[in-house]
Structure 1
Amino acid sequence: MEFWKRFIKAIDPPEPRPVQVITPESRLEHFKKTWRTFVHTWRNGQDDNPLVQERLQDLMEQLVHTLIEESKRSDRLCLNFAYDQRVFLAISKVAQNGSRDVSRVAIKAFSTLLDNEEDFLSQESFALSLIDFLTETKKRTGPGLEVEFVELLFNIASKIRGNPAILPVWFTSAGQYGVDFQSLPEAERFAGVTNKDDFPLFYLLIDYVHNEAPVGEFARTGLLYIIEAASSSRELEKWIVESDLATLMASGLGALYSQLSRKLVLSYDKDTIPTILAFSDYQINKPVGEAETMSSPDFQTHLQTFLSYLIFWQDVLRNCKSTEVKQTLLDHFQVLFLQQLLYPSLIESSDIDGGSAVAVLTYVRLILDTLEHPDLINIILSYLLAIKEKMKPMVPPSKSVARRRKSLDLLTMASKDDEKSTPDLFSLVDLAITSLRSSSHQTVGATLRLVSTILRKHHPYAISTLLKVTLLDDDAPRRTIGAHNKEMEFFFSIVPDVGDFNIAAAFEAHLKDAIILLESHPCTLEALSAGLSTEGSREEGSTFAAKKPISGHRLRLDDPLLKRCVNLLSSFFSNPVEINLILTSVIVDLATCIHTRPDGWLLNDPEHYTYPNEDDDSASISSLNLENELSAALNSASDLAFLTLQTQRNQISALNRARRYPEFTSNPPILNVLENLAAQLEIYRRDIPDLDEKLSERRQAFRVTENLSEALSGSPLPPRRGRHNSSARPSSSHFGSTSPTRSDDGYGRLNSPPSYNDNTSQRKIRALKPSQYHLPPPMEDDDDEMPPPHSPLPGSPKMGAVDMVPLGKEFSLSHLLTNIMIYQEFVLELAALIQARTSLFGDVAFEA
């Protein structure tokens, strides 16, 4: 019996233990116990003992865990204990001599304290212990610890930004330590008062601002917050101006620029080649030697880091409220980056060494495409384009800024003596014009893309630099409505209605794009804002006065850029497809500015209109009726009726004169080449019987590709965007109603080529010469400019793999079909642009 009692008792389930409720008091007791053990282990253990380090790490993690748990509740007993006992002092000391794992937990501990008790930030002892820990830990940070480390720095900067009153705890003016700027040696004056003990947090952030994301993003944003806080402290503002912030920022930008490949090839791989290029003779260019491709992952990483740092510069200038800080930064940007790095790389570039000209032209374009701040744009383009009249600062510089500028001049004095060239002798304009004469289509394409960016985003800087213009008076004659109608008829007459091409639908699409293009152009927006304010427009955050208003003008026929565009256009059907795409972009960009009249170079000059019958308007029915009514009014002797009818008669007479179709003695260069191309196309149609059929098949292939891409993505195609968004521009290649759109760099949508099997790639066509169709040759291209030092002088090797197709050389039928489609769309794009200008800008006169 006793046995069974013991057996039954053994198999009975144990009585449940009472649930232990963790109260705030019990949590505090546990925290205190852990803290005492932590302090005892630290004081009695050896720092180099791995077991001691492991134990300290475990105890610190328990402390952090308890604080995190408490933060989820309303009570703050443990946090208050940590605040009273200054636990951060011991944590800092342990972590300074601890392992990487201990440092990682210490970062988490400090972050937890900052997130839950802002009073820590106002304690000088907390700031000093945290800075000591950060300074020592920085020596041991690596890829596995940098993110957490810099994120902690960012959190501190963010707290200071939210509460500028705590700034004195983290920053102490150098003047308080008896350091006087004037008493320093000259070399140290340039570096500024670089006592890192004044503001170590500032320098810890600077060390990481040039890193890749996310480390660089945290550091840049944190430093941005610090600079923004300078507006609340005159001492901090003065310290930043006299410190080496500007030097370090400009040097960091230069270091990132130097990491970019010196030689570049603009090419796609087989998976990303746009459809429009896949349907031509496009060959994927492989890099040679030191060159890199634009699509290389390593190159893209370096490029994005460099551009992110540029955006950081822009954000600093936009958000900094201190004019003196901004002016100091701009001075260093010009001297240390533009003059000593970017410009030398520009003059040393060449198109015969595998792509260094392509590289520097592309980098300048990307810089201009990325930046929006007017001061940065002004400094870059004024220097590179050798523009003498720069915008003056709105306020005179302070003594601190003057001292920094003097120190900067002393630093660059020696290097200036060694310069062999300046923008006054060889500017970006010279490089661009020279590069457009290159036999390498890579160089030509990179140059056209740069020109397009300047024209599209920064047109005022192109006037009298890239472009030779003739200024127009306010009363300069305008095109008449009759001339406009005749020229519109001309555009439609040279658009071949071949290949199942819906001209009406394509024109309608281009017209919508053209309106967006014109309305969002920077010069249009500036003209509208100038009309609302007599003071002009100026972007917020700019330290310079607004630019002078731009006068109306038109291109001169001897303009080198126009000549190169016309000559490239003359070989349109044999040109590489990517050259034609960006070439048409440049021509559209030339005609988009509200201040640039298309007369004389794109359309016929109204000063040269002739009319065979000068009095043909008097024979109109309206005029005859008015004459009869005028006679009746005279007989009735009513002065009011006479004057009214006389006014109406003059108005209708003027309108009738404006409606007349003038005679054009000769077409302007662009229209002349377009007419020549139309004649070439007729020859191709005569020599290739199935050309229309092949064009229909090609257009249908593009439609299939678009529809397939849309189905795979599960979303409709992105809407067309105007130029207020620098990432895209309206298309000149609609290819019907479902064509790939042209991107900002002249390429189409990134679609994989469809499975399209025909013999168009094997059938060869020979490029036509002007003499074959009895039309005028292209414009002569004068070489009156002095060649740069690095020009290829005859017999120099060329980049054979990327040469342009010369006249008379064979190319495939597939290549011809794609270029014909681009030609059709380009003519309609020009027609739509002219029509939209007439409506929006009042280019046309309705009275003559």
Structure 2
Amino acid sequence: MDFWARLLGGSSRKKQAAPNNPQQRLARFRQRYNQILQTWQKSTNLAHDREALGTIRRALQALTAILNDESRSPAPHMCLQFAAASQIYTAVSKIAATSHDEGMVRDAVAFYNALIDSEEEDFLENDVFAVSLMNFVDRTIGSGSMGVGEDIEADIVELLFGIAAKIRLQPEILPVWFTTTASADSEGRLVNKKTDFAGVTQKEDFPLCYQLIDHVHHEGRIGDFARTGLLYIFESASRSIALEQWIVNSDLPTLMATGLGALYSTMSRKLSILHPQQDMSLILSLSDYSDMQPNLQAESFFGLDFQNHLVTFLSYLIFWQDVLEHCRSVDVRLTLIDHFQALFLQQLLYPSLLESSDADGGSSVAVLTYLRHILDALDHPELVHMMLQYLLALLDYTSMSPKTPRSPAAVKRRQSLMLLNAPDKEDDRLNPSLFNLVDLVLGSTGSSNPQTVIAALKLTTVILSKSHGYALGSLVKVMNLHHKEHHRTVGSLNQELELYLNLAINVAGLEGVDEAYDNYLKDTLSSLESHPCSLKTIALPATSSKSQAYFDSAEGTARDVDPHQLLPEDPLFQSLVELMLRFLTNDVETNLALTEAIITLGTCSQIRLEGWLSVDPADYHFDSADPEPDKFSSDNLRDMYMAGRFPTWSSSATPRLLACLQQLQRQIDALRADIMDWDEHVANRKHIFRFQQDITDEANISTPQSRSVRAPSEPPLGSWAPQIPKHVLDSSATPSRAQSPRGRKETLSGSRNTPTTSPAPSRFGGQTLVGSPSRGLSPMSAPQVGNRQTSLISDVEAGLAGIKNERFFKRRIRFRRAAGSQEVEVMLSKFQPPPREADDATAGAEKKEEDDIREASLLHIITNVVILQNFVLEVVALMQVRASLFNEVRFV
């Protein structure tokens, strides 16, 4: 039978695989290990012996494969036992470090990973293993190391991250990786007599921690693993008194604070936020924006190098927040905050604010932009409190948490830090009470440099939206109100809404108003609900998942905001009104930032609109001749009738913003009377914006994957992007700043249970008034859509080029404002002054000093008119939604 079997199956029988039993596996493992040792000992210069390196690498890869195979096999694991008993990792560490070969380092990392992942023989609890591994890491990626590629460096940092994660989950192995030579006091706390303001550098105590902190500034995998690993280390400090006190006394807080300062210092001192010509959006191209000249000495905000520096700085700032969030040790957390305050805020950030100037053409823009980014990224209550208390010169900014107890070591460390930060002379002390962020913002809003104005308005918007409580009394002058009831009536609200709506229609026509207004209602509702001051106003304590203590804590809001009213003499609002008076000649980006700041100011639920946006109830006048029904079935019906009456008021009682808008309307009326086909030009401009929006929507529908692809001109994440593209990309009617929540199906009337959610419903009947050439297109396949889209874009670009080059739209219009006057006069074509003669130079110079004369092209003015209409509609939406959401008007 064997003969026939051999004949049928072939003359040669298949070799059976060698049995993988523990003894044979151990034999192969020892053979490979001995091969490594012999080759290493025979080589006189391993770094230059390529043959020996190849032999050792193949043997080391075989060892790693055997270990991985054994980890998946049943016990006994004799190879792991042999590796632990023979401490073969020490030889691997020395060979890899002396080879100066990246491939050898990569194989050594894989070998260490195999030992750690086995979770046997307690390698992470072995002192020799810890020393061997950290020596290997220091020789490969430490200071003065051989230098390896980023991918290998990322693998090594990932290995360190894995160890930090093990320490977090198994605190008992911390003493293996962390040792200290500091002595303990009578209470068991560590005392280091060498401690000074910067702490003690003792890398030999915790080399793992120092390796991680050396790599937290990197981007990509290296920085991610380093930052997360360091987070785990700080989190472990709450479970180890020795580690907690070591961090307090070490130089780790100093390294973190100085590292943040170093990244801040890499960003340019002078900055230009002008958009480059090649990436200019539609709304900018249809204006005089291209005529603005950038400062050649300032770095462009949209440059790739600057964006990389900014993203790196913001990433490290967010890492600071994560550390404070994960750190449960009070001493460590407060020590970190002290160093942030002393070494970054007081020694670097505030001096840059103090030294900024609008005269040098960019330093004020840079500081304001950096502050906006910092405050926009900060969410940790203690950091926000400390920064705004200091920069706004509020009281008690030096005492962060007076009620939080600290250990004697932490108190001593803080005293040493503050003593170092104190100047030698009292006159040299930087005092925010002399010049602070309020002074910088108020001075910048009145600057003649549009970039400075834009940066100041953007910073103001961030402070008002995220930290409104800190702005009250400092940036915004207000008067607290003792009464919480509202005295405005539904009749006055309807009257005011009607005035604003009519003004919006008179400014730029009826077309598109209804749809744009509907979108603004949804946007405003979302903004009001998400505002931090609205948390207490609209929350229902009985059904809220948060306790009342949550709303009183720092997590809910850093400072309580009581009902308040804007003072008429508020400098910030006066600056906003001054800018509004020049709305038609302002650059487009300034107007977008201006309107955003005004809307943000009115988004706070605790601010009253009387005096600046609506009429004060004390100024209501009712017609005594108005016939009153003789009989009412109840007093409630009579009160409802009285509250619904339309009041009148004197011109002096007109809200300041409404008066400013009415003056802008008069300027537009003068232009309409002087320029032929004015309304047609405005309507065409609105069609252009809507047509561009339709093309964008069609492209997004036909290519859904494009939504995740960033446009080439769009700044990276974490950077500041002006709100200009919002007008073109997010509005369904005309340009608008806020993004419309397209997915919301509910109407405003169904969102809240109020007596009447919409006191003044739209008088346009809800019909869609906006038409678009692309709305009637039949569904097409993706290639047809692409071809059609390309054709449409070409047509639009050709039309835009014709508009911008047409002589009619290049016509310059002058606006004159007499000195000391609030009225702006449009200098129409028939009143244009003649050229000034040479002998009248002196008189002309005096006149120029007295009158504020500005000019802009007709192309620019029409775009600003479209923006103005959208702003007025947003104001109307704000008043209407506030009335229903916050019950701001009386119905009885």
Q: Which residue of 2 aligns with 1:457?
A: 466
CA distance in 1, matches of 2:331, 2:488: 50
Q: In structure 2, which of residues 534, 540, 551 is the aligned counterpart of residue 537 of structure 1?
A: 551
Q: Secondary structure at the match of 1:128?
A: helix
Q: In structure 2, which of residues 573, 586, 602 is the aligned counterpart of residue 591 of structure 1?
A: 602
Q: Which residue of 2 aligns with 1:561?
A: 572
Q: Is contact 2:192-2:249 (8 Å) kept?
A: no
CA distance in 2, matches of 1:726, 1:596: 28
Q: In structure 2, which of residues 130, 134, 159 is the aligned counterpart of residue 131 of structure 1?
A: 134
Aligned runs of 1:255-274 on 2, under 5 Å?
255-274=262-281
Q: Is contact 2:350-2:391 (8 Å) kept?
A: yes
Q: Secondary structure at the match of 1:479?
A: coil
Q: Which residue of 2 aligns with 1:141?
A: 147
Tell me which amino acid in the other structure corresponds to 1:662. Answer: P
Within the alignment, does 1:370 sit opposite 2:377 as a pair? yes
- Structure 1 residues 469 and 177: alpha-carbon distance in aligned structure 2, compared to 1, 3 A threshold: closer
Q: Is contact 1:369-1:726 (8 Å) kept?
A: no
Shift of 1:756: 2.5
Shift of 1:828: 0.5
Shift of 1:48: 5.0
Q: In structure 1, which of residues 681, 692, 704 is the aligned counterpart of residue 691 of structure 2?
A: 704
CA distance in 2, matches of 1:225, 1:304: 23
CA distance in 1, matches of 2:665, 2:649: 19
Q: Which residue of 2 aligns with 1:349?
A: 356
Q: Secondary structure at the match of 1:125?
A: helix
CA distance in 2, matches of 1:655, 1:329: 59
Shift of 1:655: 2.5
Q: In structure 2, which of residues 524, 527, 531 is the aligned counterpart of residue 521 of structure 1?
A: 531
Q: In structure 2, which of residues 853, 861, 864 is the aligned counterpart of residue 819 of structure 1?
A: 864
Q: Deviations over 1:547-592 (max 9, x none)?
A: 4532111111111110111011111111100111110000001111
Q: Which residue of 2 aligns with 1:36?
A: 34
- Structure 1 residues 727 and 154: alpha-carbon distance in aligned structure 2, compared to 1, 3 A threshold: farther
Shift of 1:608: 2.1
Aligned runs of 1:569-608 on 2, under 5 Å?
569-608=580-619
CA distance in 2, matches of 1:767, 1:507: 32
Q: Secondary structure at the match of 2:196?
A: helix
Q: Is contact 1:529-1:537 (8 Å) kept?
A: no
Shift of 1:718: 8.3
Q: Which residue of 2 aligns with 1:50?
A: 48
CA distance in 1, matches of 2:172, 2:191: 30
Q: Is contact 1:267-1:284 (8 Å) kept?
A: no
Tell me which amino acid in the other structure corresponds to 2:128. Answer: S
What's the TM-score, normalizing by structure 1?
0.84
Aligned runs of 1:226-625 on 2, under 5 Å?
226-283=233-290, 288-390=295-397, 392-414=401-423, 417=426, 419=428, 421-474=430-483, 478-496=487-505, 498=508, 501-528=511-538, 533-535=547-549, 537=551, 547=558, 549-613=560-624, 616=626, 619-621=627-629, 623-625=630-632
Q: Which residue of 1 aligns with 2:757?
A: none
Q: In structure 2, which of residues 858, 866, 873 is the aligned counterpart of residue 828 of structure 1?
A: 873
Within the alignment, does 1:107 sit opposite 2:109 as a pair? yes
Q: Secondary structure at the match of 1:478?
A: coil
Q: Which residue of 1 aligns with 2:646?
A: 661
Q: Deviations over 1:10-37 (max 9, x none)?
A: xxx9957535456245544332211111
Q: Is contact 2:35-2:56 (8 Å) kept?
A: no
Q: Deviations over 1:79-135 (max 9, x none)?
A: 343234322121122233331423332222212222233621122221121122222
Within the alignment, does 1:689 sit opposite 2:676 as a pair? yes
- Structure 1 residues 470 and 59: alpha-carbon distance in aligned structure 2, compared to 1, 3 A threshold: same
- Structure 1 residues 453 and 735: alpha-carbon distance in aligned structure 2, compared to 1, 3 A threshold: closer
Within the alignment, does 1:23 sit opposite 2:26 as a pair? no
Q: Is contact 1:449-1:582 (8 Å) kept?
A: yes
- Structure 1 residues 698 and 42: alpha-carbon distance in aligned structure 2, compared to 1, 3 A threshold: same
- Structure 1 residues 606 and 715: alpha-carbon distance in aligned structure 2, compared to 1, 3 A threshold: farther
Aligned runs of 1:1-20 on 2, under 5 Å?
15=12, 18=15, 20=17
Report the aligned-residue RMSD: 3.3
- Structure 1 residues 361 and 85: alpha-carbon distance in aligned structure 2, compared to 1, 3 A threshold: same
Q: Is contact 2:125-2:173 (8 Å) kept?
A: yes
Q: Secondary structure at the match of 1:195?
A: coil
Q: Deviations over 1:380-414 (max 9, x none)?
A: 11110001045634422221210110110122123
State the identity as a percent: 40
CA distance in 2, matches of 1:418, 1:87: 64
Q: Relative to structure 2, which stretch is displaced further, 334-343 or 45-54?
A: 45-54
CA distance in 2, matches of 1:660, 1:843: 16
Within the alignment, does 1:672 sit opposite 2:659 as a pair? yes
Q: Is contact 1:253-1:306 (8 Å) kept?
A: yes
CA distance in 1, matches of 2:312, 2:281: 26
Within the alignment, does 1:64 sit opposite 2:51 as a pair? no
Q: Is contact 1:500-1:696 (8 Å) kept?
A: no
Q: Secondary structure at the match of 2:505?
A: coil
Tell me which amino acid in the other structure corresponds to 1:358. Answer: V
Shift of 1:731: 6.6
- Structure 1 residues 284 and 198: alpha-carbon distance in aligned structure 2, compared to 1, 3 A threshold: farther
Q: Is contact 1:760-1:812 (8 Å) kept?
A: no
Q: Relative to structure 2, which stretch is displaced further, 406-415 or 169-178?
A: 169-178
Q: Secondary structure at the match of 1:438?
A: coil
Q: Is contact 1:766-1:808 (8 Å) kept?
A: no
CA distance in 2, matches of 1:66, 1:285: 68
Shift of 1:478: 2.3
Q: Which residue of 1 aligns with 2:98?
A: 97
Q: Secondary structure at the match of 2:605?
A: coil
- Structure 1 residues 163 and 756: alpha-carbon distance in aligned structure 2, compared to 1, 3 A threshold: farther
Within the alignment, does 1:121 sit opposite 2:128 as a pair? no
Tell me which amino acid in the other structure corresponds to 2:628. Answer: S
CA distance in 1, matches of 2:424, 2:220: 34
Q: Deviations over 1:592-645 (max 9, x none)?
A: 1011111111211122223341x84xx533x5244xxxxxxxxxxxxxxxxxxx
Instruction: Extract unaligned runs of 5+ from structure 1.
Output: 1-12, 627-647, 720-724, 745-750, 779-805
Q: Is contact 1:265-1:286 (8 Å) kept?
A: no
What's the TM-score, normalizing by structure 2?
0.80
Shift of 1:287: 5.5
Q: Is contact 1:374-1:539 (8 Å) kept?
A: no
CA distance in 1, matches of 2:453, 2:74: 68
Tell me which amino acid in the other structure corresponds to 1:494. Answer: L
Shift of 1:200: 1.4
Shift of 1:420: 5.8
Q: In structure 2, which of residues 722, 727, 737 is the aligned counterpart of residue 742 of structure 1?
A: 737
- Structure 1 residues 416 and 600: alpha-carbon distance in aligned structure 2, compared to 1, 3 A threshold: farther
Q: Secondary structure at the match of 1:360?
A: helix
- Structure 1 residues 233 and 434: alpha-carbon distance in aligned structure 2, compared to 1, 3 A threshold: same
Tell me which amino acid in the other structure corresponds to 1:104. Answer: R
Q: Deviations over 1:244-281 (max 9, x none)?
A: 22111101000000011111111223443222212212
